[in-house]
């Protein structure tokens, strides 16, 4: 199963967008507060609870060229990878996330 987010335009270079997304603290800031709770960031990832109390722990994965990747940690109820890829060039960068379920 795979979900692709709509593309979001950012008034920043691809390099700045990737730097922002590579920091788990910033990833926490992007979560809608009405759907997530107990968010915490660490240097290697972050954790939070979905509505209904389902815990999610994300760790930095192996980044592909030109992207940032987070993987769900072992023990998370649903195993998935989240890949963020920017669309350069220019002063405005489009970014989308692809969420792909992984086999246990």
Q: Encode the chain (104 residues) as per-residue pLDDT tens digits.
A: 677 777 888 888 888 888 988 998 888 887 777 778 898 999 889 988 877 788 888 999 999 888 899 998 888 877 888 888 877 656 677 777 776 766 65
3-state secondary structure the chain: CEEECCCEEECCCHHHHHHHHCCHHHHHHCCCCCCEEEEEEECCEEEEEECCCEEEEEEECCCCCCCEEEEECCCCCCCEEEEEEEECCCCCEEEEEEEEECCC
- How crowded is residue 40: how many other Cβ atoms within 10 Å of its Cβ? 12
Tokens 């692709």 belong to 4
pLDDT for residue 90: 62
Residue from 31, 1, 16 nearest 91 by CA: 16
pLDDT for residue 55: 86
Rounded to two decimals, what is the model's pTM? Answer: 0.78
The number of distinct structural domains making up the chain is 1
pLDDT for residue 89: 59
For the chain, the farthest-separated pair of C-alpha atoms sits apart, in whole angstroms, at 41
| Interatomic CA distance for residues 15 and 88, integer angstroms | 9
Domain holding 89, by residue range, is 2-101
Q: State the CATH number of the domain containing residue 52.
A: 3.30.530.20
């Amino acid at each position: 199963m795979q979900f692709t987010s709509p593309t979001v335009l950012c008034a920043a270079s691809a390099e700045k967008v990737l730097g922002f997304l590579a920091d788990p603290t910033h990833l926490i800031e992007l979560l809608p507060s009405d759907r997530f709770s107990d968010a915490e960031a660490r240097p290697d990832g972050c954790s939070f609870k979905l509505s209904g109390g389902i815990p999610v722990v994300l760790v930095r994965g192996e980044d592909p060229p030109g992207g940032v990747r987070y993987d769900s940690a072992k023990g998370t109820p649903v195993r998935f990878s989240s890949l963020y890829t920017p669309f350069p060039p220019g002063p405005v960068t489009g970014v989308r996330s692809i969420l792909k379920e992984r086999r246990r």
